[in-house]
Structure 1
Amino acid sequence: MNDVSAGVLAMTRRRHGEHVVVSLAGEVDVDNARRVRACLGEAVVETADGPRPRLVVDLSGLTFIDSTGLGVLVRQLAALRERDGSMALVAPDGQVLRRLRRTNLAPLFPIYDTLSQALA
């Protein structure tokens, strides 16, 4: 397990069976989007031993995500799809889910209320 904390963002990355789970807590904005991008990229490398990389990004601990952070998620999804991989989000009702819906990005991702649902 790897923990990275900087300012108002905490990131945790761990394996769960065939999935790699990245949990984000705090705020994702233009100031830390590069660190989120790097963490997600490293998580995809961890999934490389399987035929299809599977990533779950747990956003339930986020209190804020800006358009830069949303862009990081979309670019990561595109990169995974190029490798026949998948990416699911955990985003219970709240600011992050509302932002995904308002920007019409929600239909791009499978979105779950809980991590256990995403991993099932």
Structure 2
Amino acid sequence: MGRLTTHVLDTALGKPAAGIRIELYRVSGNSHRKIGEAVTNADGRTDAPMLSPLKEGHYELIFFAGDYLRTSGQAAGEVLFLDQIPIRFGIADAEGHYHVPLLISPFAYSTYRGS
């Protein structure tokens, strides 16, 4: 059975990013339908897969990084350079394992398809 997992690493502090809220949406054209939500644990991971079983299609994870950056003391103020970070991706193999990690700092982020 396929599954979608994620984790968040704070590259500025060199540690997992705990307490980040993540929302998962199924995307069809301009329509977004929220299908899941989780918060990262002390290891920067969610306690359960974001989605399982998988369905082929387009999805978007939104990472609420601004709250984490404020709490960790790395950012302040109402307007942040990075606040909500959306990552849109496709699932072509419903039997596969899709791992979408996020590496963040106050002024940059990156992602990749992990294993």
State if a TM-score over 0.5 links the two structures: no
TM-score, structure 2 length as denominator? Answer: 0.30
Structure scoring higher RCO (CA < 8 A, sep ≥ 6) equals 2
Highest CA radius of gyration, 1 or 2? 2
Higher helix share: 1
Q: Which has the higher strand share?
A: 2
- Per the normalisation by structure 1, the TM-score is 0.30
